[in-house]
Amino acid sequence: MNEGVPKQFIQVGDTQIALPEGVTVADWGLEKVSAQNPRIRAFLGCIDLLGGVLESNYAILHCSPERLLEIWRRVRQVSEHIRRRIGPLLRVSSQIPKLEEARQNSLAALELLDTNVLVDLDRFPADVAPHRLMDLRKLLCVSIGQLHSFLQDTFSQLAASDPRSGTHDADYFLSRRFAEDIEEAEWLQATVVRLQEYLEQLAELLPQDLSAYAEQMREHKAIPHDQTWENLRSFLDQLINTLTPKMKGVLALRGIRFYEMEILDRYTVEIPTKCRLLVEIHDLACRAIDRIQEQLGRSHEQLEQCGRDLESCHAVFSDRMAALMKEIDKYLRDLIAFVPLWLEGIERRRALILKRTATGGIECSEPEEEAESADQPSN
């Protein structure tokens, strides 16, 4: 720690939290990225992995051989992660006194677990012969509960000692609420990622900039028709029928915050409303043009009047359509710019969230992955 350094603060959500005397924001930032965040993910990954096989002793003693071998495979994975990931991470000291005390206690608990549980698991073969299945059942009855207790108790102490935990104590990290908070934040983040990917694809569907297209319409004073309008109409249908439901789906998630809801709700209302209005005005303009052409006379005066009426009709409707296109373009640009910033904010409050693999399992990040994450903002 740096002696004589004035107390510094970190921002966690809307709250500023003071770091211990002598610990700078840079010190904590480095420790967080290199040790504490990887610890948290490693523990949560093991807890999630073991959670799929938390059976009663009766169930373990009487389950099918196939289920027993699945439980054994999971337990071996957890044991390997504890040795390969959690062990080395617990040996990295902390500059936060409270966290350092929790780390030392956790390391002592790991040494006891290694002596009393992991060693016995190591002695049992990965491929179990049929005549040894009963021995395996007995071993699992003893070891699964001890593994789970170590992971839960140790993780809760490390998480509660983290400066970002604020007023949360260890009981919070052992509670159902914490698991629900993780699930809600993870689901929100994944949904917003999909929304961002869709917006990137959507931007490529329009052959030219929508605002520039509106300027051309206003300059030529002509209602778009034929394939030009069909392409634009297809794009508007995408905004109404696909983008809007996606945004409504995000609004329905519990993890979204109020100010985020306000911003997204505006886009959810304004974009489809403007799109529908643009379609209706185009249809109305086409009917007006058809009506004028139906009343076309044969005299020179009638032809001139009809020409003036058509010119006025095109000018009035194209001007209004161009204005709507510019509004839609602005909303889309604002939305496309907002979503990455929103996603960045979500990820800043996701320090305790698991990294899930494409198959739905839990991935305990390797050290090189942590180096990549050092460039990402997080609290």
Please state the domain extents for the chain: 9-174+359-373, 185-348
Is it the case that residue 305 has pLDDT exceeding 80? no
Report the distance separating Cα 61 and Cα 255, nearest Å.
Answer: 40
Return the closest-CA partner of residue 353 out of 197, 160, 190, 194: 190
Q: How far apart are the first and last CA of the chain?
A: 20
Look up residue 215 and give its two tokens.
């300027």
**Greatest mean pLDDT range, 176-185, 198-207, 264-273, 340-349:** 264-273
**Residue type for position 277:** L
pLDDT at 107: 93
* Helices 65-81 & 37-51 angle (0-180, nearest 10): 170
Identify the residue whose tokens are 């500059």.
95
Indicate the DSSP class of residue 3: T
Identify the band that residue 230 occupies on the pLDDT scale cut at 50, 70 and 90.
Answer: confident
Q: pLDDT per residue over 169-228, tens digit each?
A: 444 454 455 555 666 777 788 889 999 999 988 877 665 667 777 877 777 787 877 777
Exposed, middle or buried: residue 166 (CB in 10 Å: 0-12, 13-18, 19+)? exposed
Identify the residue whose tokens are 């990965």.
126
pLDDT at 121: 93
pTM given for the model: 0.51
Q: pLDDT per residue over 22-51, tens digit each?
A: 888 888 889 888 998 888 888 888 988 888
